[in-house]
Amino acid sequence: MTTENLVQQIKLKKSMLCVGLDVDLEKIPQHLLKLDDPIFEFNKEIIKATADFAVAYKPNLAFYEAYGLKGWKSLEKTISFLQENYPNIFTIADAKRGDIGNTSRMYAKAFFEDLGFDSVTVAPYMGKDSVEPFLEFPEKHVIMLGLTSNQGSEDFQLSKIENDTYLFEKIMQKSKTWNNSERLMYVVGATKPEYLKIIRKHLPKSFLLVPGVGAQGGNLDEVCKYGMSDNYGLLINSSRGIIYKSSGTDFAEAARNEAKAMQQKMEKYF
Amino acid sequence: MTTENLVQQIKLKKSMLCVGLDVDLEKIPQHLLKLDDPIFEFNKEIIKATADFAVAYKPNLAFYEAYGLKGWKSLEKTISFLQENYPNIFTIADAKRGDIGNTSRMYAKAFFEDLGFDSVTVAPYMGKDSVEPFLEFPEKHVIMLGLTSNQGSEDFQLSKIENDTYLFEKIMQKSKTWNNSERLMYVVGATKPEYLKIIRKHLPKSFLLVPGVGAQGGNLDEVCKYGMSDNYGLLINSSRGIIYKSSGTDFAEAARNEAKAMQQKMEKYF
């Protein structure tokens, strides 16, 4: 998918909502557990219920790998379901991968070619040659960790380095010089809105994937206020806050209502 | 597996060799491709041929994920084969994972409980709360990226931060204060032996997983000379240099000879 396609969806739906599909068998409605593939059934209902308000879906790979072969099968079915029924919605493999070149290339093949995701999240620690292999795929996007939403982001990301810049700033600056960097996006946690101004100085046009609204306590209004760019430039993620809104048989409707409420909060910034 | 068990194996075999199982269907002997599960068959033969000289095996997850469901099945069979036949050999899931706490916990469950690996590699960028969930499992080890073997390691890992230390040093220092850090090991590339002295100052006892000998050009003697600790403290990995030594029907014998040659080079440091 091109960036233009994504921007069109955002404009059409007046929404920057990304729904995180972090499916945990201990948290989904118990009546689904008797079905053959509870994870896929849960995802399917959540997607159908929220697709009017969402411009992206983001399965978190850990939650599928934790169920081994079965989990991987549920992931394959989920991405196929999205591609067949909602080809205009952006898909993100939240995998946070990154390794030496030949290994990164194998991960890229797995997520872009075999599974067919539009984008994948990657970690920056190993530098340029660990990220560029992901950027070689036309119309595919790479979402690199910038400033994350968790407390541990303060351990290293906020270290001051040469010229009094933060490590995360150096990563953003440097990555702009990499091959195909126009298809790079960045993860910036909603729990740190005070840094969004600095980040927009470095990255005036890049899309930011913003987790941490909802269960982690980030403020949606502040994120929109300081984070939006000329072409919207935000994908605001909520996972647990939407998909586990209800654990009863009304879980899909409850998720829909929550997604709608978030979309309505965003609408005023359009 | 406890660290003592690992040290015993090293002593017994006079070897610190880790064999990396980076199985690529385009590189394995072509006669294996007619078998039902070529990846597993290849691994099985490589393991049987090299087990006299290896103290650890390290499947690289990317190479299994690239083959989807089939790849995941081959991985499960490989780790089961190791556990049943070589329970004294240390196993490493080379996955380089790391995410917010609840997600890292799911990855830890996948690699330690479901697959039963002894250790997993993780990325440090997201800090303490992204790594500690992996350290909660008794007798399981976490191998964190320190100074990697690739060129991109210079982009950020060698950035100078407060007090004139490198970023990778800060990560090593800080991680020693984390819960259960006695089960932390570190990845240090063989291509940077000049940094091993500094690293041993920070981590006199920790095990280091050292990739980059072989295909990437690292020098085995320098790694032993500057990297060994009182209890050996090294796992020296070779992947392509061993497993793809021959692409003919003699691939297992060729791998055995190469593994033996590496063990013999190490023996003089015992």
> pLDDT tens digits, residue range B79-89?
999 999 999 99
Coil, strand or helix at A59: strand
Residue A228, pLDDT score: 97
> In the predicted model, what is the mean pLDDT of chain A?
96
* Chain B CA closest to residue A107: B62
Q: What Cα–Cα distance (Å) separates residue B79 from each residue in A196, B76, B246? A: 44, 5, 24
Coil, strand or helix at A58: strand
* Chain A CA closest to residue B60: A103
**Is the per-residue pLDDT at A216 higher than 80?**
no
Closest CA to A174 of A130, A212, A211, A209: A130
> In the predicted model, what is the mean pLDDT of chain B?
96
- The Cα–Cα gap between A205 and A231 comes to 7
> pLDDT tens digits, residue range A60-104?
999 999 999 999 999 999 999 999 999 999 999 999 999 999 999
- The Cα–Cα gap between A90 and A78 comes to 13
Residue A7, pLDDT score: 98
A96: annotated active-site residue = yes
Q: Which tokens hold the place of A254?
A: 């409850």
Cβ of A159 within 8 Å of Cβ of B154? The answer is no
Angle at alpha carbon of residue B123, lines to B122 and B125, rounded to 5°: 150
Residues 6+ apart with CB under 8 A from B15: B53, B54, B55, B262, B263, B266, B267
From chain B residues 17-56, the ones with a CB under 8 A of any chain A CB are 22, 24
Compare CB distances from B99 to A96, A101, A161 and report the shortest one's residue: A96
Residues 6+ apart with CB under 8 A from A21: A43, A46, A47, A57, A58, A59, A60, A63, A78, A239, A243
Catalytic residue among B48, B70, B77, B96: B96
- The Cα–Cα gap between B240 and B260 comes to 15
Cβ of A152 within 8 Å of Cβ of B161? The answer is no
Cβ of A155 within 8 Å of Cβ of B167? The answer is no
- Residue A96, min C-alpha distance to chain B (Å): 7
Q: Which of B21, B26, B37, B65 to mutate to test the interface with A (most CBs of A within 10 A)?
A: B65
- pLDDT-derived band at B163, boundaries 50, 70, 90: confident
Residues 6+ apart with CB under 8 A from A19: A46, A47, A50, A54, A56, A57, A58, A237, A238, A239, A242, A243, A255, A259
> pLDDT tens digits, residue range A129-144?
999 999 999 999 999 9
> pLDDT tens digits, residue range B98-118?
999 999 999 999 999 999 999
Residue A218, pLDDT score: 85
- pLDDT-derived band at A214, boundaries 50, 70, 90: confident
> pLDDT tens digits, residue range B36-78?
999 999 999 999 999 999 999 999 999 999 999 999 999 999 9
- The Cα–Cα gap between B138 and B124 comes to 21
- The Cα–Cα gap between B263 and B268 comes to 9
> pLDDT tens digits, residue range B184-208?
999 999 988 899 999 999 999 999 9
Q: What Cα–Cα distance (Å) separates residue A133 from each residue in A116, B241, B252? A: 16, 22, 31
- Residue A146, min C-alpha distance to chain B (Å): 9
**Is the per-residue pLDDT at A215 higher than 90?**
no
Residue A162, pLDDT score: 78
pLDDT, greater one: B93 or B194: B93
- pLDDT-derived band at B1, boundaries 50, 70, 90: very high
**Is the per-residue pLDDT at A163 higher than 80?**
no
Helix (H) or strand (E) holding A161: strand A160-161
Residues from chain A that touch B76, judged by Cβ atoms under 8 A, are 68-69
The helix-helix angle for A68-85 and A38-50 (nearest 10°) equals 30
**Is the per-residue pLDDT at A164 higher than 90?**
no
Give the domains, in start order, of chain A with CATH numbers.
3-267 (3.20.20.70)
* Number of other CB atoms surrounding residue B30 within 10 Å: 13
Coil, strand or helix at A93: strand
Closest CA to A200 of A246, A169, A178: A169
Coil, strand or helix at A201: helix
- φ, ψ of residue A89 to 5 degrees: the values are -95, 130
Q: Residue A32, Cα to own-chain centre: how many angstroms?
A: 26
